[in-house]
């Protein structure tokens, strides 16, 4: 059974009313695939950046009532040409001598999974149209009849969701051979496909056919006219995450190009911005394929450029790494695969934006957008990056990326140790262990010094009088709002006067320092020795060092925080020479005096500072740096908090109450000498394809 349907175009308005969005000039014939025969449907597949189109047509079929699959491949010049089709997609003639192979659907997120229709023999017996699943492995396709979905009735017109876990198809199983069709949905489970269910909007009188999930999670389908003239209209309806039509959800026609002709078999281009359908409208040779713009998108990528350098440490000796904004440079932009290019100018603070209107033609609507960014530096002491950014199917909106220019001493390092001290920044209020931050307060694992005002608020509306007066009495409210009594906990040595007077100033300095530490970690993970050793399976060690003031704490000062169960923290704590933590716990709630630690109690204070700073930074890095999160998920990063008690003569004033980050990967002398170091650059996926997460 072949179906023909009417196809129009709309977008969903915020009120839930469908509004017209397509213009007549947005509809065009897809002459690249149209033949002199009946061209029914097209499904797109993208493999290694190469677009394929699998067209269902009767052109070249032995019988005009049959159908076959023709595979096209897009060349480097953007043109499509016919290519070889795996023989498994061509079945022998079985039903009245007519082969019915076609209506391929691919999972947009996995091009190696497909469903198609065939009426080939089953165990030597003639069969009606059945559903077959195809998988591509080791260079070839294998197919399997989907026994749980195929019956003696007619099954056809499959459509997969982007992730391949929901399958729509059409069947006349409720009225075999009665030319009454409904749409069914099945879900992929661990045991196979679920029992198919008819969608709620299917009627007993009319035919529903050719389902197609839209990129925004709705469902297109066709329904024939009530006058039984075999003219079909496309409608769109809301569905839930399991593919079921929402109870009571109305289906709306697509009114932008209503004609008296038939349109049908909708599908979408790889980027999801064009709707493809077949039609016998004016100008078509029988049934031809047409393309209609589905949506116009734009993408903005906010770009930041920073410089990563290395300098000598005048106080402590050795060297230290640093990151700073890099302004007044040019970024060369190349769009792939079109090879078109442009140039961006970065402002003095290291910021610029790349804006793109995604309005290509249907056969240029690729599944994945690739953008190559390069900074061509002129100073021979510096080396610039070439980064490739990827945006998956349907990705729109605003994104961000940072490009890092390296000093050659930081890039071509012989040892894989990167040290990022933060100097002249007071991360902590005197006597306290929780970082003083406002911007990153939600990432803290301790009580912020700014929590005082929140804790003294009381929501208590004034009560209302039941009555004002009567013949005997008059009434008035005697009301005093409740107040929170605040008492300092015994043994607390936090300087709250300093917190109130200087806390906001400290926080502004700390927030800016955390921003720099964030960029430092981003650049550290891109250094060649880190990438190379991680590829070999080595683990990165990130040391977060917390420093104290040089003065001793009052012997009465106690740790008032909760117990620190070291085996339950997200980071490790170095407890060398810490007898109060030998059992794996630092007792809290006033049970541990700081004086039990060395350096006048400062060792324990520095450990607590390091622990909470490390946990805060670990949360920030995991939340904002995809490469860090990926390594964390693979257990290839170990974060260690190290407390450093400042003595009177060991550390300069600019390092007191500060935080230092050190990134280390163990490298042997032999490994340091192996191979050439390539220039900086990498591939960064800003957005997965819609429906692929």
Q: Which residues contact 529 (CB under 8 A, 6 or more apart)?
A: 413, 415, 416, 665, 667, 672
Using DSSP bridges, classify how beta strands 637-644 and 572-573 pair: parallel, antiparallel or unpaired: parallel
- Cis peptide bond N-terminal to 337, omega within 30: yes
Q: What is the dihedral of CA 329, 686, 215, 213, to 10 degrees?
A: 160
CB-side neighbour CA atoms (13 Å) of 127: 24
Rounded alpha-carbon distances, angstroms, from residue 576 to 264, 580, 618: 73, 11, 22
* For residue 8, pLDDT beyond 50: no
Two structure tokens written together for 73 = 């491949």
Q: Which residues pair with 116 in a beta bridge?
A: 132
Of the ranges 82-96, 365-379, 433-447, 531-545, which one carries the lowest mean pLDDT score?
82-96
pLDDT in the model for residue 250: 67
Averaged pLDDT for residues 636-647: 89
pLDDT in the model for residue 434: 96
Sequence-ordered alpha helix ranges (H) in 527-660: 528-535, 602-624, 626-633
8 Å CB contact between 381 and 407: yes
User: Per-residue confidence at 315, pLDDT binned at 50, 70, 90?
Assistant: very low
pLDDT in the model for residue 574: 95
pLDDT in the model for residue 542: 97
Rounded alpha-carbon distances, angstroms, from residue 261 to 205, 211, 290: 21, 19, 13
Of the ranges 168-182, 573-587, 629-643, which one carries the lowest mean pLDDT score?
168-182
d(CA 409, CA 691): 43
Q: Is 581 helix (H, G, I), strand (E, B) or coil?
A: helix
Residue pLDDT, tens place only, 253-298? 766 545 667 878 999 999 999 999 988 877 777 889 999 888 888 8
Domain with CATH 2.120.10.30 in the chain: 10-295
Burial class, 386, CB count within 10 angstroms (exposed 0-12 / middle 13-18 / buried 19+): middle
In this structure, what are the phi and psi dihedrals at residue 241, rounded to the nearest 5 degrees?
A: -65, -15
This prediction's pTM: 0.74
Averaged pLDDT for residues 77-93: 88
User: Per-residue confidence at 529, pLDDT binned at 50, 70, 90?
Assistant: confident
Task: Specify the DSSP element, H or E, that contains 496.
Answer: helix 496-524
User: Per-residue confidence at 249, pLDDT binned at 50, 70, 90?
Assistant: low
d(CA 225, CA 311): 77
Mean pLDDT of the chain, nearest integer = 86
* For residue 1, pLDDT beyond 50: no
Of the ranges 284-293, 408-417, 498-507, 595-604, which one carries the lowest mean pLDDT score?
408-417
Query: What Rg value do the Cα atoms of the chain yield, rounded?
Result: 33
Residue pLDDT, tens place only, 57-73? 999 888 888 899 999 99
Please name which of 422, 405, 435 lies closest in space to residue 618, comparing C-alpha atoms: 435
User: Per-residue confidence at 147, pLDDT binned at 50, 70, 90?
Assistant: very high
Residue pLDDT, tens place only, 89-134? 987 655 567 888 999 999 998 999 999 999 988 887 778 899 999 9
pLDDT in the model for residue 655: 58
Give the whole-number percent of the chain exceeding pLDDT 90. Answer: 53
Count of beta carbons in the 10 Å neighbourhood of residue 87: 9
Residue pLDDT, tens place only, 192-212? 999 999 988 888 788 888 999
Q: Is 631 helix (H, G, I), strand (E, B) or coil?
A: helix
Rounded alpha-carbon distances, angstroms, from residue 345 to 326, 331, 348, 490: 12, 6, 10, 58
Domain with CATH 2.60.40 in the chain: 298-412
Q: What is the dihedral of CA 261, 264, 269, 273, to 10 degrees?
A: 60
Q: Which residues contact 491 (CB under 8 A, 6 or more apart)?
A: 556, 557, 558, 560, 590, 593
Which residue is associated with the tokens 């002199």? 36
Q: Is 451 helix (H, G, I), strand (E, B) or coil?
A: helix
d(CA 546, CA 656): 9
Give the whole-number percent of the chain exceeding pLDDT 70. Answer: 89
8 Å CB contact between 350 and 325: yes
Count of beta carbons in the 10 Å neighbourhood of residue 126: 11
| Homologous superfamily of 10-295 | TolB, C-terminal domain (2.120.10.30)
Q: Which residues contact 502 (CB under 8 A, 6 or more apart)?
A: 429
Fold of the domain built from segment(s) 298-412 = Immunoglobulin-like (2.60.40)
Q: Is 693 helix (H, G, I), strand (E, B) or coil?
A: coil
* For residue 650, pLDDT beyond 60: no
Residue pLDDT, tens place only, 13-67? 222 222 233 344 578 899 999 999 999 999 999 998 899 999 999 998 888 888 9
* For residue 7, pLDDT beyond 50: no
pLDDT in the model for residue 240: 86
Task: Specify the DSSP element, H or E, that contains 325.
Answer: strand 319-325
d(CA 399, CA 302): 6
Burial class, 450, CB count within 10 angstroms (exposed 0-12 / middle 13-18 / buried 19+): middle
The DSSP secondary-structure symbol of 368 reads S
Averaged pLDDT for residues 488-508: 92
């Amino acid at each position: 059974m072949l179906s023909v349907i009417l196809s129009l175009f709309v977008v969903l308005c915020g009120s839930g009313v469908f509004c017209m969005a397509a213009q007549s000039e947005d509809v065009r014939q897809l002459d690249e695939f149209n033949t002199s025969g009946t061209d029914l449907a097209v499904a797109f597949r993208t493999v290694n950046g190469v677009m394929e189109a699998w067209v269902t047509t009767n052109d070249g079929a032995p019988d005009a009532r049959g159908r076959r699959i023709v595979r096209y491949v897009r060349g480097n010049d953007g043109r499509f040409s016919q290519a070889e089709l795996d023989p498994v997609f061509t079945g022998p003639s079985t039903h009245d001598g007519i082969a019915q192979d076609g209506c391929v659907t691919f999972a947009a997120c996995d091009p190696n999974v497909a469903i198609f229709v065939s009426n080939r023999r089953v165990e030597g017996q003639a069969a009606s149209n059945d559903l077959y699943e195809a998988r591509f492995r080791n260079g070839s396709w294998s197919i399997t009849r989907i026994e749980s979905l195929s019956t003696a009735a007619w099954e056809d017109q499959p459509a997969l969701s982007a992730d391949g876990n929901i399958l729509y198809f059409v069947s006349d199983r409720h009225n075999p051979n009665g030319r009454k069709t409904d749409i069914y949905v099945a879900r992929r489970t661990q045991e196979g496909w679920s029992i198919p269910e008819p969608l709620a909007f299917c009627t007993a009188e009319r035919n529903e056919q050719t389902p197609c999930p839209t990129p925004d999670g709705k469902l297109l389908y066709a329904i024939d006219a009530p006058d039984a003239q075999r003219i079909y209209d496309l409608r769109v309806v809301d569905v839930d995450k399991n593919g079921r039509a929402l109870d009571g959800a109305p289906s709306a026609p697509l009114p932008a190009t209503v004609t008296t002709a038939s349109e049908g078999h909708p599908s979408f281009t790889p980027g999801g911005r064009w709707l493809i359908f077949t039609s016998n409208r004016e100008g078509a040779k029988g049934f031809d394929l047409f393309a209609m713009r589905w949506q116009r998108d734009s993408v903005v990528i906010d770009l930041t450029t920073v410089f990563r350098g290395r300098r000598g440490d005048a106080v402590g000796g050795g060297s230290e790494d640093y990151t700073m904004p890099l302004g007044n440079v040019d970024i060369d932009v190349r769009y792939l695969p079109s090879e078109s290019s442009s140039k961006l100018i970065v402002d003095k603070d290291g910021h610029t934006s790349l804006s793109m209107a995604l309005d290509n033609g249907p056969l240029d609507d690729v599944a994945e957008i690739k953008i190559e960014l390069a900074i061509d530096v002129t100073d021979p002491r510096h080396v610039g990056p070439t980064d490739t950014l990827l945006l998956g199917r349907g990705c729109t909106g605003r994104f961000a990326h940072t490009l890092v220019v390296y000093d050659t001493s930081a890039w071509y390092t012989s040892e894989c140790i990167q040290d990022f001290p933060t100097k002249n920044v007071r991360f902590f209020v005197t006597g306290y262990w929780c970082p003083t931050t406002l911007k990153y307060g939600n990432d803290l694992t301790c009580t912020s010094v700014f929590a005082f005002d929140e804790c003294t608020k009381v929501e208590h509306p004034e009560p209302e009088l039941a009555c004002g007066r009567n013949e005997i009495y008059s009434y008035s409210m005697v009301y005093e709002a409740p107040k929170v009594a605040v008492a300092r906990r015994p043994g607390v040595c936090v300087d709250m006067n300093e917190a109130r007077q200087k806390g906001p100033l400290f926080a502004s300095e700390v927030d800016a320092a955390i921003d720099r530490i964030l960029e430092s970690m981003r650049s550290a993970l891109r250094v060649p020795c880190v990438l190379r050793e991680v590829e070999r399976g080595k683990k990165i060690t990130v040391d977060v060092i917390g420093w104290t003031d040089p003065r001793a704490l009052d012997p009465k000062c106690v740790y008032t925080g909760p117990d620190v169960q070291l085996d339950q923290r997200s980071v490790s704590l170095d407890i060398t020479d810490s007898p109060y933590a030998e059992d794996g716990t630092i007792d809290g709630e006033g049970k541990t005096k700081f004086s039990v630690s060395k350096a006048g109690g400062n060792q324990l204070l520095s450990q607590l500072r390091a622990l909470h700073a490390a946990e805060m930074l670990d949360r920030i890095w995991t939340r904002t740096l995809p490469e860090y999160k990926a390594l964390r998920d693979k257990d290839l990063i170990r974060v260690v908090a190290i407390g450093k008690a400042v003595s009177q003569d060991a550390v300069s004033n600019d390092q007191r109450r500060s935080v230092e980050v050190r990134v280390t990967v163990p490298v042997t002398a032999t490994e340091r000498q192996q191979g050439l170091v390539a220039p900086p650059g990498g591939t960064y996926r800003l957005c997965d394809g819609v429906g692929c997460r």
